[in-house]
């Protein structure tokens, strides 16, 4: 038995480790619908049906000998001719396929039911389970399979079932090893860590998160096991020890044909064709699954039909927002480029998280996608769990209901966010009525209360003014008051101080901090200002060219930032500049969507760049607890790496 063939471990990236991609219908369907696959499937169905209906289809008894008609060629009475004892070849092949295919099914069933669950558990749990299972697998793989099968058949003469159960046990070792290796690769993904933190059981993680990712590998390997089971059966049949003669098997038919090949070359043709086509079909099916691009198991778009349950709690209990593999792609009409690429992060209740990066990094597209405010002609994919709700499954109406009430947005330009023709008080009262069932009078009272909440000292006077009659800082306070009208649990503040004077900026930031504390509100703060991050944020996410390049608690990011981009961004912070010195800048600019280089996207601008940086896409990896980075030069606990000057 060729355990070595089976154990040729596939590249985890090819089947399991690939990052999600948007698939056109054509691309997604190319694999299973290609002609070779269809033909392979049709052949396997045909022989299975033929095996089931053998007594009806055969037309002859497979055991009846007619010594007057030995080794005759195909003809009207015997469609495929006869063998050396004058038995009908078609009848023997049809009846033989029952035994042979049953044997394959037994072998595959035993192999998969041992190898797959054990591989999953060992690859995920590691530790003692892995050590013991791996040691047993090594021993099984080193045993001489054929000798063991012959020994088993010596103990249980002509027991094809005993032989194929033994085959299944032996071949499960190689299957185990492959499943274990691929599981180990997938288990390192951050979303698996998030799933663990979410309190999902081991079983849920294995079945819902890991198994779907490694499914192509499992199916491909199962097809190989099936082909090996068939070859093994043929070998045993050829030796005449799998079933009691004159019972037909494919191996037995082949063996019989081989004895008369010198005088009747035709006799060998039908069994060889049948066996070859069947092995080829298994191979093609296995190849189809591995060559299929990775399919998003939870794939959905706003325009597509929801496929996941409407409300599935995936985020940890203390996490209000859990974004996983968020990808925003312009549709072909919009240019077809990826704007945000596989972004995952979470925000705890009452936590302030900063989203930092240069202009064009993807901060706004990321934060607005949470609210369903992606650019027109863009497709959003991934998973956005907000307090148990999958936001990407919501209808426009449901999203509209959520916006302002549970998630609110404060933008960069307060003046353009307010209607110049309506008094401040009326605008605020309108916002209150949109979220709360209150009368006009009460809504105006609540509007004035909101103005007080945002530290406006004379709320009645301001309520009576039009937007052009107030300052930019005051307008931003009003915008924050509008955002608070629905008492949101999450506030997305997209560069809320960019358009304001430095002195006013500090006041607005103080206000945001106070409001967040008073209301235990989570805040996603989009900024390019490290001072704002230092002042307000518990944690920060650094984005570059649509990807997260670093994420850590603010203090850690300031003391031990690892990614050269974070270091460069911090060095270029205007607050860090020395008077009289030239401003530090980062050479070049963020590559626009569609022009991202292969490998590290920051490589062209990086002072620490080496040749390997451009070799392959750089994955995020854990540097320390809660600290991830996307730089091949940084390893865990590499304290010296890229310290910020």
Ligand X SMILES: Nc1ncnc2c1ncn2[C@@H]1O[C@H](COP(=O)(O)OP(=O)(O)OP(=O)(O)O)[C@@H](O)[C@H]1O
Q: Which residues bind ligand X (CB under 6 A)?
A: 330, 334, 339, 357, 359-365, 375, 528, 592-593
Closest contact distance (angstroms) between CB of 531 and ligand X is 16
Sheet holding 389-390, edge to edge: 338-348, 319-330, 378-386, 389-390
Answer for the pair 181, 9: CB distance below 8 angstroms, yes or no. Answer: yes
* Count of helices and strands (H, E) across the chain: 25, 12
Q: Checking phi first, is residue 409 left (phi over 0); if not, alpha (psi -120 to 50) or beta?
A: beta
Closest contact distance (angstroms) between CB of 357 and ligand X is 5
Closest contact distance (angstroms) between CB of 595 and ligand X is 10
Three-state secondary structure readout of 139-175: HHHHCCHHHHHHHHHHHCCCCHHHHHHHHHHHHHHHH
How far apart CA 7 and CA 291 sit, in angstroms, is 18
Answer for the pair 562, 621: CB distance below 8 angstroms, yes or no. Answer: no
Residue nearest to ligand X (CB): 375
Q: Decide whether 50 or 356 has the Cβ nearer to ligand X.
A: 356
Closest contact distance (angstroms) between CB of 592 and ligand X is 5
Q: Decide whether 361 or 463 has the Cβ nearer to ligand X.
A: 361
Q: Decide whether 363 or 633 has the Cβ nearer to ligand X.
A: 363
What are 553's strand-pairing partners?
539
Closest contact distance (angstroms) between CB of 555 and ligand X is 24
Closest contact distance (angstroms) between CB of 325 and ligand X is 17
How far apart CA 465 and CA 477 sit, in angstroms, is 14
How far apart CA 62 and CA 83 sit, in angstroms, is 10
How far apart CA 472 and CA 4 sit, in angstroms, is 72
Answer for the pair 575, 589: CB distance below 8 angstroms, yes or no. Answer: no
Closest contact distance (angstroms) between CB of 341 and ligand X is 11
Closest contact distance (angstroms) between CB of 335 and ligand X is 6
How far apart CA 32 and CA 15 sit, in angstroms, is 15
Closest contact distance (angstroms) between CB of 524 and ligand X is 12
In the block, residue with structure tokens 């052009």? 468
Answer for the pair 489, 405: CB distance below 8 angstroms, yes or no. Answer: no
Closest contact distance (angstroms) between CB of 527 and ligand X is 9
In a 3-state reduction of DSSP, which class is residue 322?
strand
How far apart CA 112 and CA 99 sit, in angstroms, is 20
Tokens of 611: 């040749």
Q: Decide whether 137 or 328 has the Cβ nearer to ligand X.
A: 328
Neighbouring C-beta atoms of residue 26, cutoff 10 Å:
8
Closest contact distance (angstroms) between CB of 224 and ligand X is 44
What are 249's strand-pairing partners?
none
Q: Decide whether 298 or 601 has the Cβ nearer to ligand X.
A: 601
Alpha-helical segments (H) within 266-351: 269-291
- Environment class of residue 617 by beta-carbon count within 10 Å: exposed (0-12), middle (13-18) or buried (19+)? middle
Q: Decide whether 486 or 593 has the Cβ nearer to ligand X.
A: 593
**Which has the closest alpha carbon to 342: 636, 53, 618?**
618
Q: Decide whether 142 or 359 has the Cβ nearer to ligand X.
A: 359
Q: Decide whether 333 or 579 has the Cβ nearer to ligand X.
A: 333
Q: Decide whether 354 or 357 has the Cβ nearer to ligand X.
A: 357
Closest contact distance (angstroms) between CB of 136 and ligand X is 52
Q: In angstroms, how far is CA 496 from the centroid of its own chain?
A: 34
Q: Decide whether 73 or 592 has the Cβ nearer to ligand X.
A: 592
Closest contact distance (angstroms) between CB of 179 and ligand X is 39
Handedness of CA 302, 307, 312, 315 (dihedral sign): negative
For the chain, the distance separating the N- and C-terminal CA atoms, rounded to the nearest angstrom, is 61
Listed in order, strand segments (DSSP E) in 269-396 are 319-330, 338-348, 352-356, 378-386, 389-390
Closest contact distance (angstroms) between CB of 321 and ligand X is 18
Handedness of CA 521, 526, 530, 531 (dihedral sign): negative
Q: Decide whether 340 or 428 has the Cβ nearer to ligand X.
A: 340
Q: Decide whether 302 or 363 has the Cβ nearer to ligand X.
A: 363
Tokens of 440: 């006009």
Q: Decide whether 209 or 368 has the Cβ nearer to ligand X.
A: 368
Q: Decide whether 362 or 425 has the Cβ nearer to ligand X.
A: 362
Closest contact distance (angstroms) between CB of 379 and ligand X is 12
**Which has the closest alpha carbon to 289: 549, 15, 49?**
15
Q: Decide whether 107 or 357 has the Cβ nearer to ligand X.
A: 357
């Amino acid at each position: 038995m060729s355990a070595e063939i089976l154990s040729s471990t596939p590249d985890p990236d090819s089947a399991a480790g690939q990052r999600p991609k948007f698939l056109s219908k054509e691309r997604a369907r190319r694999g299973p619908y290609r002609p070779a696959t269809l033909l392979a499937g049709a052949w396997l169905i045909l022989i299975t049906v033929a095996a089931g209906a053998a007594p009806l289809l055969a037309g002859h008894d497979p055991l009846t000998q007619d010594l007057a008609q030995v080794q005759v060629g195909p003809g009207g009475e015997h469609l495929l001719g006869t063998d050396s004892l004058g038995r009908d070849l078609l009848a023997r092949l049809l009846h033989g396929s029952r035994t042979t295919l049953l044997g394959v099914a037994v072998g595959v069933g035993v192999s998969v039911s041992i190898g797959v669950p054990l591989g999953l558990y060992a690859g995920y749990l590691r530790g003692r389970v892995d050590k013991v299972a791996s040691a047993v697998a090594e021993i099984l793989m080193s045993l001489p399979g054929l000798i063991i099968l012959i020994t088993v058949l010596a103990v249980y003469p002509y027991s094809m079932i005993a032989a194929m159960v033994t085959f299944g046990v032996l071949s499960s070792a190689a299957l185990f090893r492959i499943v274990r290796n691929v599981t180990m690769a997938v288990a390192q993904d951050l979303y698996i860590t998030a799933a663990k933190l979410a309190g999902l059981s081991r079983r849920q993680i294995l079945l819902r998160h890991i198994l779907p990712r490694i499914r192509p590998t499992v199916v491909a390997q199962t097809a190989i096991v099936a082909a090996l089971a068939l070859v093994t059966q043929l070998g045993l049949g050829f030796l005449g020890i799998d079933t009691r003669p004159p019972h037909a098997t494919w191996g037995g038919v082949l063996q019989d044909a081989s004895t008369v090949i010198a005088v009747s070359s035709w006799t060998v043709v039908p069994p060889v064709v049948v066996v070859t086509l069947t092995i080829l079909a298994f191979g093609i099916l296995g190849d189809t699954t591995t060559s299929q691009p990775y399919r998003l198991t939870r794939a959905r778009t706003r325009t597509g039909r929801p496929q996941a349950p409407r409300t599935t709690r995936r985020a940890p209990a203390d996490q209000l927002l859990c974004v996983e593999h968020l990808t925003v792609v312009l549709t072909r009409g919009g240019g077809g480029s990826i704007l945000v690429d596989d972004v995952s992060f979470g925000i705890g209740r009452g936590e302030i998280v900063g989203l930092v990066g240069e202009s064009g990094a993807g901060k706004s597209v990321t934060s607005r996608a949470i609210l369903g405010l992606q650019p027109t002609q863009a497709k959003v994919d991934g998973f956005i769990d907000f307090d148990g709700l999958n936001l990407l499954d919501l209808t426009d109406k449901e999203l509209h209901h959520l916006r302002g009430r549970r998630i609110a947005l404060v933008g960069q330009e307060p003046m353009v966010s307010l209607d110049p023709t309506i008094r401040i008080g009326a605008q605020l009262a309108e916002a209150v009525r949109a979220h709360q069932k209150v009368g006009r009078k009460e809504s105006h009272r609540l509007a004035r209360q909101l103005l007080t909440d945002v530290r406006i000292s004379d709320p009645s006077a301001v309520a009576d003014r039009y937007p052009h009659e107030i300052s930019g800082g005051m307008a931003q306070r009003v915008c924050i008051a509008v955002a608070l009208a629905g008492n949101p649990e999450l506030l997305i503040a997209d560069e809320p101080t960019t358009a304001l004077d430095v002195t006013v900026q500090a006041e607005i930031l103080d206000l945001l901090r106070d409001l967040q504390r008073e209301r235990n509100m989570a805040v996603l703060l989009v900024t390019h200002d490290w001072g704002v991050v230092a002042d307000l944020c518990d944690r920060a996410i650094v984005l570059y060219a649509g990807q997260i390049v670093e994420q850590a608690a603010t203090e850690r990011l300031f003391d031990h930032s690892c990614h050269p981009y974070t270091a460069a961004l911090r060095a270029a912070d205007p607050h860090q500049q020395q008077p009289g010195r030239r401003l530090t800048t980062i050479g070049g600019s963020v590559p626009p969507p569609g022009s991202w280089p292969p490998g590290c996207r920051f490589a062209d601008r990086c002072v620490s760049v080496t040749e390997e940086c451009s070799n392959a896409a750089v994955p995020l990896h854990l540097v320390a607890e809660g600290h991830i980075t996307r730089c091949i030069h940084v390893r865990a606990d590499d304290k010296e790496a890229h310290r910020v000057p």
